[in-house]
Amino acid sequence: MKTATRVETAAGMIPEGASLLIGGFMGVGSPHRLIDALVARGIGGFTVVANDTAMPGCGIGKLITAGLVKRLVASHIGLNPETQAKMISGEIEVELVPQGTLVERIRAGGVGLGGVLTATGLGTMVEQGKRVIEVDGRSFLLEKPIRGDFALIAAHSADYKGNLEYSLTAHNFNPVMALAADRVIAEPHVIVPVGVIPPDAVKTPGVLVDVLLEREH
């Protein structure tokens, strides 16, 4: 059984300069309470890997506004003008990665692959500085795997063994990120007794979860 942890305690486990895989899709499926606790603590210098930075005042956008992000790896930043402005000013280093490539790189990091071969980005600026590998007469970019120090993920429900169930678009990045980090902090909406979540509904087994946050009050 896992003991549920206060959100402030969990935020305190994350050191300055850590690399963070943060789930969510425009804020849906992001660990909002944990993000708020990081903003309140005010220690940053983070490398953030995420699909996007949501919008100002929402999800990962709060970390951007607070100046806690040093480097960002994401598929798009189009709906957050603050991220765009900080990229242009040089305050944040931004690596834009095609969405499918991004999730595959994270998955590769989680399952121990040496990289991903993809034709996406060939002949564009995405190709710059990367190896091109030929397979059966076709050219592919070698995209290296991504791992993080911490995965900060949100789930619809958890049980007291840390098994996680997701809802709707929260499935997009959270389960794969839980595979690709040295430590996983999970923020469930509710915590239920063991056995309530059907085995087929468990997308992240409890063995992967290091810290389980207290449920929302």
* pLDDT tens per residue, range 128-149: 889 999 999 999 999 999 999 9
| pLDDT of the residue at 170 | 81
How is residue 190 written in tokens? 């509710």
Say whether 190 sits in a helix, a strand or coil: strand
Q: Residue 16 pLDDT more than 70? A: yes
Mean of per-residue pLDDT scores for the chain: 94
Average of per-residue pLDDT across 50-60? 95
| pLDDT of the residue at 3 | 81
Q: Tally Cβ neighbours within 10 Å of residue 93.
A: 13
Indicate the pLDDT class of residue 217, thresholds 50, 70 and 90: low
Average of per-residue pLDDT across 40-50? 96
Q: Residue 216 pLDDT more than 90? A: no
| pLDDT of the residue at 1 | 77
In order of their start, the domains of the chain are: 7-112+146-212 (3.40.1080.10)
How is residue 193 written in tokens? 């007794």
| pLDDT of the residue at 97 | 94
* pLDDT tens per residue, range 166-184: 988 888 899 999 999 999 9
Residues 6+ apart with CB under 8 A from 147: 19, 109, 110, 180, 181, 182
